[in-house]
Amino acid sequence: PSSFVIPAVNNPAEYCRQNYTVGYGTDTNQDVQFAKGTTTLAFKFNDGIIVSVDSRSTMGPYIASQTVKKVIEINPYLLGTMAGGAADCAFWERNLGMQCRMYELRNKERISVAAASKLLANTMFQYRGHGLSMGTMVTGWDKTGPQLYYVDNDATRLKGDIFSVGSGSTYAYGVLDTYYRPDLTVDEAIDLGKRAIYHATHRDAYSGGINNVYHVKETGWVKVGSWDVNDLHYLYADEKIAARNP
Amino acid sequence: LGSAVVAVRGADSVVIGVERKTIAKLQDPRTIRKIVKLDATTTLAFAGLTADARVLIEKVRLECQSYRLTCEDAPSLEHIARFIATTQQRYTQRGGVRPFGVSSILAGFGSDGNPQIYQIDPSGTYFAWKANAIGGKNSKGMREFLEKEWTEDLSEPGSLKLVVKTLLEVVDSGSKNMEVAVVRKGSAMELLGEDALNAVTEQVLAEAEAEKNAASGGAEEMKD
């Protein structure tokens, strides 16, 4: 957008990189430290897409919040997830919402997920090198069916069936990849989404809080529910005990 | 002004015909193309200043590809018409420039699979039409003729005959002075070859002759 203000210095990109970079433990000397550390995931299956995220925000070892909304509701049929800089994600995804609405008004039809994710990726490309930190998944159901795209701050844009983004993503992938099937039932898929996030929050210090789950259907997204990951811990622990003592 | 352009929307095709002004003997007729491809599935015919049209067409072609790059999908006909209209309007409101002296007719298919025609003026207004004629010495007359003759759901041969008939109102007869193209769903426009065009012209003229001669009861179909 032409009205985005950049620092009035000789080399704005350099200035941003030195003073506003995201870095685990390395940004402690900066004036602005980014809240980061997260686990978000989304996967496509026969009945749509499940989006499951945690809600912890950390500044170094300090837990800034346990109740962050990491799923951004761009419009009733498009969702975006948040990983990386919370402000960057929230701002640019809301900006994407504005662009999507303009598209709708001009063209009298909804924007496709491919086009929406491309708009975001192109914006990221414009600000490449300026130190933005955003790892997001743009997902929705358009006339070509359910779609899932990964977009990040260096304008990488990937189409896929399964993605997990954030410091806890490796733990989530472990569970997700083991149990994923395209023909999961809706309940099985929701359970998988919950379990994957729980395991990530259990092992990753920077993930935790509440697990929010959304389901993207043909008629738009619905919020399935919120679960405190602590409660999930004891739930699954009981299951393990029950399994050991049939 | 400029040479005449006629476009007719049928049930599953759009037929465009343009008047080909008599050219100098030494000039190669193949280098004058008034019906052009804008995109894989969109065709444009214009009336007016050829040079202005060339510049405008270049802008539109770029916009079509830019849309495909950004949205990963083909631009809708309405989007292209709006782009042409917006561009032309800009040149009526800035200083130091003059408007594009071009009237365009855009032909293609909508996402619902139905054929569409749009017309864009130098003022920057655009409208969808079922059949229209622009340019030439009597576009008003041609349009009135179309209003009388056009019917819903014309077949391709029917639309072809109507286009030729309309053009014959203003053009000296002879397929040498016309260029006709058919736009079908999912394919680029197809320029009618000499023989095909001759055949249609002859059919139209024969039918007109027969109609004149039939004193009574001559059940003449003017369209399929």
Whether the pLDDT of residue A29 is over 90: the answer is: no
What lies within 8 Å, CB to CB, of B101 at 6+ separation is B1, B48, B49, B52, B122
Residue B66 CA to residue B74 CA, distance in Å, equals: 10
Residue of A nearest to B81 (CA): A107
Q: How many residues does chain A have?
A: 246
* pLDDT reported for residue A1: 55
Using the beta-carbon criterion (under 8 Å), do A114 and B76 form an inter-chain contact? no
Residue identified by tokens 């995931």 is A41
Using the beta-carbon criterion (under 8 Å), do A119 and B70 form an inter-chain contact? yes
Report which listed range, A22-31, A127-136, B53-62, B199-208, is most confident: B53-62
Q: Tell me which chain B residues have a C-beta less than 8 angstroms from the C-beta of A114.
A: 71-73
Contact status, residue B205 vs residue B166, Cβ threshold 8 Å: no
3-state secondary structure at position B190: strand
Helices (H) and strands (E) in chain B, counts: 5, 10
Q: Residue B14 — very low, low, confident or very high, per pLDDT cuts 50/70/90?
A: very high
Interface residue A119 vs chain B (CB under 8 A): yes
Residue B177 CA to residue B167 CA, distance in Å, equals: 10
CA contacts within 13 A on the Cβ side of B201: 21
C-alpha dist (Å) from residue B14 to A66, A129, A161, B78, B224: 61, 50, 41, 16, 15
Using the beta-carbon criterion (under 8 Å), do A115 and B79 form an inter-chain contact? no
Residue identified by tokens 């490796």 is A170
Residue identified by tokens 């708009």 is A119
Which has more confidence, B83 or A86? B83
Residue A111 CA to residue B70 CA, distance in Å, equals: 12
Average pLDDT across chain B, whole number = 87
Which has more confidence, A177 or B94? A177
**Comparing A4-13, A90-99, A133-142, which segment has the lowest mean pLDDT?**
A4-13
Digit-coded pLDDT (tens) for B84-100: 999 999 999 988 999 99
For residue B179, give the H/E element and its range: strand B178-184
What's CA A206's distance to the chain center, in Å?
Answer: 14
Interface residue A11 vs chain B (CB under 8 A): no
C-alpha dist (Å) from residue B222 to B16, B154, B162, B203: 18, 11, 8, 10
Nearest to A115 among B71, B76, B82 (CB): B71
State mean pLDDT over B41-56.
92
Residue of B nearest to A123 (CA): B70
Digit-coded pLDDT (tens) for A196-242: 999 999 999 999 999 999 999 999 999 999 999 999 999 999 998 99
Whether the pLDDT of residue B216 is over 70: the answer is: no
Whether the pLDDT of residue A10 is over 80: the answer is: yes
* pLDDT reported for residue A26: 66
Contact status, residue B207 vs residue B168, Cβ threshold 8 Å: no
Percentage of residues in chain A having pLDDT higher than 70: 93
**Amino acid letter, residue B165:** K
Whether the pLDDT of residue A31 is over 80: the answer is: no
Contact status, residue A39 vs residue A171, Cβ threshold 8 Å: yes
**Comparing A31-35, A134-138, A240-244, B160-164, which segment has the lowest mean pLDDT?**
A31-35
| Å between B70 CA and nearest CA of chain A | 6
3-state secondary structure at position B127: strand
Catalytic residues of A: 38
Residue B145 CA to residue B149 CA, distance in Å, equals: 6
* pLDDT reported for residue B23: 74
Residue of B66, B67, B68, B72 best to disrupt the A interface, most CBs of A under 10 A = B72
DSSP string, chain A: -TT----SSS-HHHHHHHHS---TTTSTTSSS---B---EEEEEETTEEEEEE---EEETTEEEES----EEEEETTEEEE--B-HHHHHHHHHHHHHHHHHHHHHHSSPPPHHHHHHHHHHHHHHTTTTT--BEEEEEEEETTEEEEEEEETT--EEE-SEEEESTTHHHHHHHHHHH--TT--HHHHHHHHHHHHHHHHHH-TT--SEEEEEEEETTEEEEEEEEEHHHHHHHHHHHHHHHH--
Percentage of residues in chain B having pLDDT higher than 70: 92
Interface residue A115 vs chain B (CB under 8 A): yes
Q: How many residues does chain B have?
A: 224
Q: Tell me which chain B residues have a C-beta less than 8 angstroms from the C-beta of A119.
A: 70
* Residue A112, number of CB atoms within 10 A of its CB: 19
Interface residue A66 vs chain B (CB under 8 A): no
Whether the pLDDT of residue A35 is over 60: the answer is: no
Digit-coded pLDDT (tens) for A56-100: 988 878 899 999 999 999 989 999 999 988 888 989 999 999 999
Chain B residues with CB within 8 Å of chain A CB: 70-73, 76, 78-79, 82
Tokens of B87: 């561009």
State mean pLDDT over B193-202.
85
Residue A25 CA to residue A57 CA, distance in Å, equals: 15
User: Measuring CA to CA, which residue among B25, B34, B22 is closest to residue B189?
Assistant: B34
Whether the pLDDT of residue B222 is over 70: the answer is: no
Which has more confidence, A20 or A27? A20
Digit-coded pLDDT (tens) for B137-173: 888 999 999 999 999 988 988 999 999 989 888 887 6
Using the beta-carbon criterion (under 8 Å), do A118 and B72 form an inter-chain contact? yes
Tokens of B88: 């032309």
DSSP string, B68-118: HHHHSSPPPHHHHHHHHHHHHHHHHHSTT-----EEEEEEEE-TTS-EEEE
Contact status, residue A207 vs residue A166, Cβ threshold 8 Å: yes
* pLDDT reported for residue A120: 96
**Amino acid letter, residue B133:** A
* pLDDT reported for residue B32: 63
pTM of the model: 0.79
Interface residue A114 vs chain B (CB under 8 A): yes
Whether the pLDDT of residue B221 is over 60: the answer is: no
| Å between B186 CA and nearest CA of chain A | 18
Which has more confidence, A21 or B91? B91
C-alpha dist (Å) from residue A132 to A28, A55, B188: 17, 21, 44
Q: Residue B207 — very low, low, confident or very high, per pLDDT cuts 50/70/90?
A: confident
